[in-house]
Amino acid sequence: MSIYSKELEVAELAVQRASILTKKVFHEKAKGTVSKDDKSPVTIGDFGAQALIIQAIKKNFPNDEVVGEEEASTLRDDHKLRDQIWALVEGTKLADAEAEKVLGGPVESVEAMLDAIDAGNSAGGSRGRIWALDPIDGTKGFLRGGQYAVCLALMVDGDVKVGVLGCPNLPIDDSAPLAADAGVDQTDAEGKGVLFSAVSGQGAVSRPLGTAGLGKGQPIHMKPVNDITQATFCESVEAGHSSHGDQHAIALKLRISKPSVRMDSQAKYGSIARGAGDIYLRLPTSATYQEKIWDHAAGDLIVREAGGQVTDTLGRRLDFSKGRTLAENKGVVAAPIAVHDHVLEAVKEVLSKK
C-alpha cells in the first residue's frame, strides 16, 4: 500500500458522500430561491456536508484534527434548521455498502451530528495531522446553479499531503471547454460531476464524481502553454474576492486577449489542473483580508501535482502552517511551472504600481 492510500480513499469517499447531500439540497431547496436571497439552503448544505465528512475522518483517524469552515453554535438553538439538516444527514448514504463501511457508517444521532460539526474547530498550525475542510466552497455559485466544490485536504506538519475536490457541476470530460458561470445553468445534469484528487509526490487524477464508490482515476496534467498570449485565465466571479481590474491589467501586460473565464470556488484549481484553463490569479482586494486555508489547500496540491506552480502574488509558496488562515501570503498565482515566473513578473509589475 502506498503512503496515504487509506487517507486518500476515506477523503474521496467522504467528499463523494457529502456531494450527494449538497446536490440533494440544491434540487430540493435551493432551485428557484436565489432571487429571494434566501441563504438557508446553503446553510443546510454547509452544515450537512461538514457533519458527514468530519464523521468519516473521526471514525477512521480519531486523533486527527480538523479545520472546518463552519461551527454548530447557531444550530444548537435553531431546532427547525437542526432537524432539517439531520433529516438530510441521516438519509445520505453511498449506493455501495462496502464504500459506506469504509467511511465508518452513518452519523448516529443529532447530538453526534452537532459534535461532528464542532470538531472542525482546530486552530491549525505546523504540527501533526490536520484536515482542512470547506463543505461548500463557492456558496454563491452553489445557489446560482454554477460552480461550487466540496473541498478536503490533509496537512501533515503544515504541508498538504492529500487533496480532494468534489465538483458536482463541472463536466466529467477533462477536455470539455470551460464555461463561465454567470447566467449559465450548469447544474449536475448528465455528463457533470468530477472528483479531483492528489497525493503529494504521486500525481493528480480525475474521475466521475458518481454516487457509489470509486472508479479508476485518470491522471491529469496542466496544458503546456507555448504561447502565453493564447492562455486562458480563470478568475473569481465576485470582484470583491479577486480584483477584476488588476486581472485585466495583467492580461494586457501579457498580451492575453481571450476573455477570462469566471467561475466560483476551487473548481478554478481543478480546471487549470486538467488543462481546461491555464492560469488562476486571486488578486487581493483589501490589505487586511487573510485567505482561509480551506479555500486553497486541496487546490494547491492538485495543481502542483498536475505540473503547476502555486505561489502568492509576491512569489512565496502558500504556507498552510500558520493557523486557520494563510496569514503569511497575499493572493494566489497558479500557473504551469514553465510560465509561472513570467506571469508572476507581470502580477508584481501591475500590483506594485498601485
Ligand X SMILES: Nc1ncnc2c1ncn2[C@@H]1O[C@H](COP(=O)(O)OS(=O)(=O)O)[C@@H](OP(=O)(O)O)[C@H]1O
Q: Which residues are catalytic?
A: 46, 139
The item of ligand X, Mg ion, none sharing an interface with residue 264, based on CB under 5 to 8 Å by kind, is: ligand X
Q: Least Å distance between CB 160 and ligand X? A: 17
134 is in an annotated binding site: yes
Residue 300 contacts Mg ion per CB under 5 A: no
> What's the closest the beta carbon of residue 110 comes to Mg ion, in angstroms?
22
| Cβ atoms of 12 and 207 closer than 8 Å | no
Residue 224 interacting with ligand X (CB under 6 A) = no
What residue is closest to Mg ion based on CB?
137
Beta carbon nearer to ligand X, 6 or 330: 330
User: Of 78, 101, 191, 289, which lies in the binding site for ligand X, with binding defined by CB under 6 A?
Assistant: 289
- Is 140 near ligand X (CB under 6 A)? yes
Is residue 223 classed as helix, strand or coil in its secondary structure?
coil
CA-only gyration radius of the chain, Å: 19
CB 142 within 8 A of CB 150: no
Does 312 contact Mg ion by CB under 5 A? no
Please, which of residues 162-221 interact with ligand X by CB under 6 A?
none
- Are 231 and 339 spatial neighbours (Cβ–Cβ below 8 Å)? yes
**Does 137 carry a binding-site annotation?**
yes
Contact yes or no for 194/271 (Cβ under 8 A): no
Please tell me whether residue 159 binds ligand X under the rule CB under 6 A: no
Q: Rounded to whole angstroms, how far apart are CA atoms 49 and 29?
A: 15
Q: How many CB atoms lie within 10 A of CB 82?
A: 18
CA atoms within 13 A on the CB side of 252: 8
Residues 6 or more apart in contact with residue 133 via CB below 8 angstroms? 50, 53, 54, 66, 67, 68, 69, 120, 151, 152, 294
236 lies in the site for ligand X, by CB under 6 A: yes
Among 129, 292, 317, 348, binds ligand X (CB under 6 A): 292
Number of chain positions touching Mg ion (CB under 5 A): 5
**Rounded CA gap, 72 and 306, in Å?**
36
Is residue 9 involved in binding Mg ion (CB under 5 A)? no
Q: Which of ligand X, Mg ion, none does residue 219 bind to, with CB < 5 to 8 Å depending on kind? A: none
d(CA 347, CA 315): 10
Q: Was 220 annotated as part of a binding site?
A: no
Q: At what angle do helices 244-253 and 337-352 cross, to 10 degrees?
A: 120
- Does 69 bind Mg ion (CB under 5 A)? Our answer is yes
In the complex, least distance from residue 324 CB atom to ligand X, rounded to whole angstroms:
11
85 in a known ligand binding site: no
Taking CB under 5 A as the rule, does residue 264 contact Mg ion?
A: no
Answer for which of 50, 84, 265, 271 binds ligand X (CB under 6 A) is 265
Residue 68 beta carbon to ligand X: minimum distance, rounded to whole angstroms:
11
Query: Which one, 161 or 241, has the nearer CB to ligand X?
Result: 241
Query: Shortest distance, CB of residue 329 to ligand X, whole angstroms?
Result: 12
Contacts to ligand X from residues 58-97, by CB under 6 A: 69
291 contacts Mg ion (rule: CB under 5 A): no
> What residues from 108 to 147 belong to the interface with Mg ion (CB under 5 A)?
134, 136-137
CB of 236 vs Mg ion, minimal distance in Å: 11
Nearest-angstrom CA–CA distance, 142 and 26? 7
Task: Name the residue among 326, 325, 331, 327 with its Cα closest to residue 311.
Answer: 331
Which residues, at least 6 apart from 45, have a Cβ–Cβ distance to it below 8 Å? 21, 22, 25, 26, 30, 135, 136, 142
CA angle 201, 202, 204 (to 5 degrees): 115
Which of 100, 278, 295, 305 lies at the binding interface for Mg ion (CB under 5 A)? 295
Q: Which residues of this protein are in contact with Mg ion, per CB under 5 A?
A: 69, 134, 136-137, 295
Q: Which residues of this protein are in contact with ligand X, per CB under 6 A?
A: 69, 134, 137-140, 236-238, 240-241, 264-265, 285-286, 289, 292, 295
